[in-house]
A and B are shown apart, each in its own frame.
Chain A
């Protein structure tokens, strides 16, 4: 059996082609990180992280953007996590597997997941601000403008819609890892369905639920489009103090600094610094999600 020379060459070429595209991926990641880390590392000081922008945002820190991002993801999670978890509980514990309602919900969730994020922004503007907000102003404030304009509440709710599919799908996965046997054991002991869910299913999948939450938060922390029309501000001299205030966000701050600044070259270090902070933030979040998920898998195989 002598190998045909032609076949051999072809094999090597195909392997080389696949390998080189894989290597390009590594190169992209390395270049991206190197550029951002080198450009931003000297910028990251306690001062930079804790102070306000100064001199028309050409100097100073990014504290309001960090604060705004944190507040945004916290409010978003408060809305999305319970709502998503409850939906996932309905899908796994109550809905019949192939019922029309379950299929419709799953279809809706998948659809939500593929809608471009800018459309969420438009929806938030139209629904939360123009409809809900304006109605609230008319009903409670005699038409005085308070809720009918962009603020952190509407931005967080818009963002929670975007992250909802992530929460639902990962919580569903987590709930499914709890064996049917355990549900049966609980029911056979005279527990009600809800007691079984509350005392056996949820505690058994809590780390999966946490993973879903973290993934949702990290998705939310990096998104800009949904909050563009619904609450993010170019610059604010004060931190948001109420739900009806606007706020600054890291992702949008990068955009502002790189395109809207009076002196783009002068603000270059701030741009790098902000980018590095945002990158580290999403990185830490994703990494903790991976660790949690790993620990669940390990626990399952033990």
Chain B
């Protein structure tokens, strides 16, 4: 078996004394959209957050097993978390722009990486906003506060902010769950475009969404990875009965 972009092996996560993820082994390929589905509390978000070590912020989380990105164990004690997170960006469920201007939101990442040149920053900001399909809507008001944008626009701004750091992987934790249908479809279109350049891993509650945008789908249930395969196969002819029950809406 070849190691793909993200590869985990017998990964176990304890939250205090409670086991939240059990024996997760998965191989997520590059430049594809991979969706994590499953009922609430199944561990899919927790697993996602392990991939850029955002779980480090939570007390009592203990991880065993290997999580390799490009063949490197990201939980190795020599790993610099800050560098890891630049490579593995994250978009959150609730849009969380900083109370700064649109421009400064996108420029935040490059700035903390030491980019000072105004022209270079302008260029990064423009590219990121274009890649996040929001440039046309905000190009005339980059100096305005990001808080004045609509929910959907804020979320695309947050995606732009993540892209501005030039990550290789973008993790998305239910990025459209708080949005109206129109904004959701914009985000979905965007995700499909983004896979040309980035490896996308998305957690979603919305099975139609997973079916529409993802190439591969992983079904999580009670902290275990039940099935991982091509999205088409998962939704038409899953191997496991639990997967089928969930897909067809018999539980969850």
**Which residues in A have some Cβ–Cβ distance to B below 8 Å?**
96, 179, 181-182, 184-192, 195, 199-200, 203-204, 302
Most B Cβ at <10 Å: residue of A189, A195, A302? A189
**A192 neighbours in B (Cβ, 8 Å):** 82, 112
Chain A residues closer than 8 Å to B99, beta-carbon distance:
203-204
**B86 within 8 A of partner (CB):** yes
Residues of A within 8 A of B82 (CB): 190-192
Complex CA gap A192/B86 in Å reads 11
With CB as the reference atom, state the residue of chain A lying closest to B87. Answer: A190
Contact across chains for A186 and B108 when beta carbons are under 8 A apart: yes
Q: Does B3 contact A (CB under 8 A)?
A: no
A181 surroundings in chain B (CB, below 8 A): 92, 94, 96
Q: What does the 1/0 interface line of B95-127 toward A look like (CB < 8 Å)?
A: 011111000000011001100000000000000
Residues of A near B92 (CB, < 8 A) are 181, 184-185, 188
A188–B175 alpha-carbon span in the complex (Å): 15
A96 — which chain B residues lie within 8 A by C-beta?
59
The answer to whether B54 touches A185 (Cβ under 8 A) is no
Tell me the dominant secondary structure on chain A's binding face: helix
Partner of A188, one of B85, B98, B113: B85
Interface hit among B39-47, B157-165, B193-201: B157-165
Closest Cβ–Cβ distance, residue B79 to chain A (whole Å): 13
B223 is an interface residue with CB less than 8 A from chain A: no
Q: A182-B96, A204-B99, A302-B147 are in contact. Are A189 and B112 (CB under 8 A)?
A: yes
Chain A to chain B contacts (Cβ below 8 Å), 7 pairs: A185-B98, A185-B161, A187-B57, A188-B90, A189-B162, A189-B165, A190-B85
- Residue of A182, A184, A199 near B57 (CB, 8 A) is A184
Cα(A189)–Cα(B109), bound, Å: 6
**Which residues in A have their C-beta under 8 angstroms from that of B165?**
189-190
Question: B243 near A: Cβ within 8 Å?
Answer: no
Q: How far is the CA of A179 from the CA of B95 in the complex (A)?
A: 12
